[in-house]
């Protein structure tokens, strides 16, 4: 992907359709509208594929993932690609991402989230609301849990773009990418 090489371990998740994964990541990056001064959080970063893919545009990208082996791959992926503006943290998202984490690492300008099918825990959404990123890009393979999570953000955010990506042609499975911007 644009010259990037990714190591994906056996305990790590990666999109099974690599050609469409590239399209998904390009759409995610485009919708994020990352500027060179932006701090980006990448929640559920996995092996850091999105974090490393968008790092060239950002001041810094911070990835959080609950699978320690995936975070080790994310760190290796940054290293083998010469990416020096990423930080990766392993642990239960609702325990790692808290008010202290945001106070320590900074308020994100952009937040990208690509949670598992179950979506995000309410505690994670509460911290996102507390962090007040200008833009959120929510990638999901489960429209029902994505809609549930988005409903919890609608007081502070508005949906600008919804873009499905056909990951498995000739099936009903899609990844859905939604961009939200903070209301004035």
pLDDT in tens, the chain (184 residues): 777 667 676 666 666 666 777 899 999 999 999 999 999 999 999 999 999 999 999 999 999 999 999 999 999 999 999 999 999 999 999 999 999 999 999 999 999 999 999 999 999 999 999 999 999 999 999 999 999 999 999 999 999 999 999 888 888 888 899 999 999 8
Asked if residue 88 belongs to a domain, the reply is yes
Does residue 141 carry a catalytic annotation?
yes
Asked if residue 96 belongs to a domain, the reply is yes
Number of domains in the chain: 1
Check residue 9 and give its pLDDT: 65
Paired with 110 in beta bridges are: 40, 135
Asked if residue 7 belongs to a domain, the reply is no
Asked if residue 3 belongs to a domain, the reply is no
Q: How far apart are CA 184 and CA 79, in angstroms?
A: 39
Catalytic hit among 141, 165, 167, 178: 141
The residue range of the domain holding 86 is 18-173
Asked if residue 6 belongs to a domain, the reply is no
Q: How many residues does the chain have?
A: 184
Asked if residue 69 belongs to a domain, the reply is yes
CATH number at residue 168: 3.40.50.150
């Amino acid at each position: 992907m644009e010259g990037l090489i990714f190591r994906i371990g056996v305990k790590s998740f990666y999109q099974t359709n690599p050609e469409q994964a590239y399209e998904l990541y390009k759409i995610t990056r485009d919708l994020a509208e990352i500027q060179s001064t932006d701090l980006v959080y990448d929640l559920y970063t996995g092996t850091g594929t999105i974090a490393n893919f968008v790092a060239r545009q950002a001041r810094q990208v911070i990835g959080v993932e609950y699978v320690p082996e995936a975070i080790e791959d994310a760190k290796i992926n940054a290293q083998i690609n010469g990416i020096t503006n990423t930080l990766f943290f392993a642990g239960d998202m609702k325990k790692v991402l808290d008010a202290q984490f945001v106070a320590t690492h900074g308020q994100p300008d952009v937040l990208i989230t690509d949670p598992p099918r179950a979506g995000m825990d309410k505690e994670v959404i509460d911290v996102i609301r507390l962090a007040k990123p200008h833009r959120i890009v929510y990638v999901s393979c489960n429209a029902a849990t994505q809609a549930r999570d988005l409903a919890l953000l609608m007081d502070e955010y508005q949906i600008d773009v919804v873009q499905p990506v056909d990951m498995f042609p000739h099936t009903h499975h899609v990844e859905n990418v939604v961009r939200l911007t903070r209301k004035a």
